[in-house]
Structure 1
Amino acid sequence: MNKLRRPGRFWSRLILLISALALMGILTFQESRQGAATRVFSLKNLLISQAHTEGQYSVLVDEQGRMLDMMARRVYLNDEYIAADNRRYKVIRVEGNRAVCREIGIEQLSQGEETIAVPARTAVPVQAGGNQVIGVYHSHDDESYVPTQGAESIPGSGGVLQVGTAFANRLRSLGLTVYHDQTSHAPHDDAAYRRSRRTAMGLLQKGAAAIFDLHRDGVPDPTFYRRTINGQDVTMIRLVVGRENQNMSANLDFAKRLKAAADARYPGLIRGIFIGAGSYNQDLSPRAMLLEVGTHTNTLAEAERGTTLFADVVPPVLGVAARPTAARTPSTAADWKGVLFVILAFVLGGAAFLIISAGSWEKAVARLKQFTSIEWVNLLGWRRSRRPLLTREAGQGPGNQKEIVKLDKKPAAESTPNDERADWQKE
């Protein structure tokens, strides 16, 4: 009986395998006919995500052909882009590495704190506004800056790690607690986001109110990201929001508030906000953000300066008052009142102890006079009034080498008695 069933099982599994291969072939054929504009949710992209590219980049243009942006990532149909001037565009078709965008409105940005709803299925609870803990990590830790480091990629020690350090140090100087996790998630591919997910969750479990995944772009033109702000060359920063997660609206709101704050303080610092296919682990938190700090043709110093400026706008967006750790809090009237209170308490306490130990007010005053006239004087070494007088013989001057100095001593009987001291000693 079992022997008769085995051939049937074999043929059913073979038919299932052939059907799966045929389905993949049909999907691949349809992709080749319909072009790149419909590749977002293909089976191939589910198996091997290709959001990031190496050695190539996409160009975003409007319907008149004017360039809006360019980035070293694949752009898909229905991706969106908020430009530096806050105009919002949507990708309506993709032609090779060229994405045509249609303007759909102008964003009204606000840097004020707004209510962010946390979905019930969020894996890790996020702390409420005002939390001073920030998490920083790197899904692609190999990304480097060629002019400074000589290579685009240095696995495990890319320049982007140093950019993260500059970002974290600036936040710490503003009084925030920062966990900068430099765990490597190599190799550099989109599967790195699955490997870095554990890192992101670990930062949230430490109480991070916001997490930042720092990257750098890969467009070849260094001037595309370079700006001069406050008299120094810095790299611009692009904010990236994944539109395939339940926190997309909250993440986008966070990105818009960061941009609004940066526009107000450092105009020109933000390259724009790209809303692309993918998740980037932003489903873990409504305040999870991917940053692209310059491109590989910028210098490391430019990128560090850019991210340092960006750090200045993070505390106000999170509702945290920046408190520079290097600055000292100025003294106030309340502080001086506290000091005077301590001094007054010390004086009154000392007076009470003196009266109690002396037994009466008169004796306490006598003891205090004795202390100031003798003990205090002796403590400072002022004994001249009690030293024997030095007299010189008549006719002897200070310039005479034969000068004779005599001690003018008084008999003990002629000394003035100290009645107060005698009374004090009797006690």
Structure 2
Amino acid sequence: MYPAPAFRQRGMLLAAMRQLIAVVSGVFILFFSIKVFPHLPACPAFSHVFKIASDWTENFYQWDAMKIMKIGMPVLNRSDFEGDTGDLTAWQIILDGVGAVSRANLRNPAGVMQSEIPLLARLETPAVKVTAVPAQPPGTAAVLSDDCLVALYNTHTGETYSLTDGVERLDGRKGGVVTVAAALREELEGKYGIKTARSERINDADYNTSYLESEKTARELLAANPKTMVILDIHRDSGKTREQSIVNINGQEVATLLFIVGSDARRPFPNWRQNHAFAQELSDKINSMYPGLSLGIRVKDGIYNQNLHPHALLVEVGTTKNSTEEAARSVRLMASALAAIIRQQ
């Protein structure tokens, strides 16, 4: 999913910088005190204070920027907005900012080493290599099902892939995720005979109301296709490195998959575990056929329209570090796992 608007990121960055200044100041005072009073570390009181400072620093390092905002503005806990912040903590935002200046990925140890030893930057880290057996022999004819069994749409229609389009988002237009959804439909129908409905409606003309708009789209799809067994909201992830975004399958670089499942953390959603169980089944099936393709499941606070159907899922296909073609390859592989589950049911 596309990161939250820039003004929210700037606000979190400022808050994080204030915290960082406090940490640096505390460390400076600590070392200055030791220099002036060399016997201070032997004092039990000093050890206790140092322990508290260490624990606080560790908690700060793991602090979630969105949680900081929710502490300051409790109304965010009740908001209907179900976007995301790219899953970056305040500390990660700082590291990314410093890394942009130093031209090193400070969240990746290899990136730090490459910045100090330029020769390492010329070495490419190979992706995990997987050899998978096709689920169906090539050339097998597929007879299209009478009923529509799968429905596809994009809440964040403008999300796209920077390796293809040079940007992460096409405001008010159809981004790479729409092309990826089309590839999934083509594979399901052409290869596995599973009739699939797909909407290209732009739901994120106003990003903050995108889920309100996509709920209308999802309801329309389900009303028009009452026998739908699976409905998928196709997104792309952000905040990951290139290495975290690809897996090598049958000699090709393919975008990784991540399933997002909503919960009842903010609003009533009593049946969310049904969606989680289906996500787990699909993720396991994918990895049994193509190990490493699915990164698993992430449970989040929103509902993401998943209360409309027990097999409604949000799928993040690749990240901003992928190309549209890599993401399309990914869903074509996912289609084989999805088809196998549908046939079982």
Normalising to structure 2: TM-score of the pair? Answer: 0.58
Q: For the structure 1 residues 177 and 60, does the alpha-carbon distance in structure 2 shift closer, same or farther, using more than 3 Å as the test?
A: farther
Q: Which residue of 1 aligns with 2:75?
A: 43
Find the aligned partners of 1:265 and 1:36 in 2 and give their Cα distance. Answer: 36
Whether the 8 Å CA contact 1:146–1:152 is kept in 2: the answer is yes
Question: Displacement of 1:199 after TM fit?
Answer: 0.8
Size of the aligned set, in residue pairs, is: 220
Q: Which residue of 1 aligns with 2:238?
A: 218
Q: Find out whether 1:302 has 2:326 as its counterpart.
A: yes
Q: Which residue of 2 aligns with 1:286?
A: 310
Q: Find out whether 1:239 has 2:256 as its counterpart.
A: no
Partner of residue 159 from structure 2, selected from 130, 134, 143: 143
Question: Displacement of 1:48 after TM fit?
Answer: 6.2
Question: Displacement of 1:319 after TM fit?
Answer: 3.3
Partner of residue 336 from structure 2, selected from 298, 303, 312: 312
Whether the 8 Å CA contact 1:52–1:190 is kept in 2: the answer is no
Whether the 8 Å CA contact 1:247–1:285 is kept in 2: the answer is no
Q: For the structure 1 residues 266 and 161, does the alpha-carbon distance in structure 2 shift closer, same or farther, using more than 3 Å as the test?
A: same
What are the Cα deviations for residues 165-196 of structure 1, in whole angstroms up to 9, with x where unaligned?
A: 11111111210110110100123634211111
Question: Displacement of 1:214 after TM fit?
Answer: 0.2
Structure 2 unmatched ranges of 5 or more: 1-62, 93-145
Within a 5 Å distance, the mapping from 1:194-209 to structure 2 comes to: 194-205=212-223, 206-207=225-226, 208-209=228-229
Whether the 8 Å CA contact 1:247–1:282 is kept in 2: the answer is no
Q: Find out whether 1:169 has 2:193 as its counterpart.
A: no
Q: Which residue of 2 aligns with 1:191?
A: 209
Question: Displacement of 1:198 after TM fit?
Answer: 1.1
Question: Displacement of 1:215 after TM fit?
Answer: 0.2
Whether the 8 Å CA contact 1:238–1:292 is kept in 2: the answer is yes
Find the aligned partners of 1:144 and 1:190 in 2 and give their Cα distance. Answer: 18
Q: For the structure 1 residues 195 and 50, does the alpha-carbon distance in structure 2 shift closer, same or farther, using more than 3 Å as the test?
A: closer
Within a 5 Å distance, the mapping from 1:86-97 to structure 2 comes to: none
Amino acid at match of 1:196: S
Q: Find out whether 1:58 has 2:88 as its counterpart.
A: yes
Structure 1 unmatched ranges of 5 or more: 1-33, 62-66, 68-129, 322-427
Find the aligned partners of 1:44 and 1:138 in 2 and give their Cα distance. Answer: 24
Find the aligned partners of 2:196 and 2:90 in 1 and give their Cα distance. Answer: 35
Task: With a CA cutoff of 8 Å and minimum separation of 6, indicate the structure with the bigger relative contact order.
Answer: 2
Within a 5 Å distance, the mapping from 1:98-177 to structure 2 comes to: 133-154=149-170, 155-173=172-190, 174-177=192-195
SS in 2 for 1:161: helix
Question: Displacement of 1:58 after TM fit?
Answer: 2.1
Structure with the bigger percentage of helix: 2
Question: Displacement of 1:52 after TM fit?
Answer: 1.5
Q: For the structure 1 residues 262 and 47, does the alpha-carbon distance in structure 2 shift closer, same or farther, using more than 3 Å as the test?
A: closer
Question: Displacement of 1:246 after TM fit?
Answer: 2.4
Normalising to structure 1: TM-score of the pair? Answer: 0.48
Question: Displacement of 1:146 after TM fit?
Answer: 1.1
Find the aligned partners of 2:286 and 2:90 in 1 and give their Cα distance. Answer: 23
Amino acid at match of 2:247: R
Q: Percent identity?
A: 29
Question: Displacement of 1:247 after TM fit?
Answer: 2.4
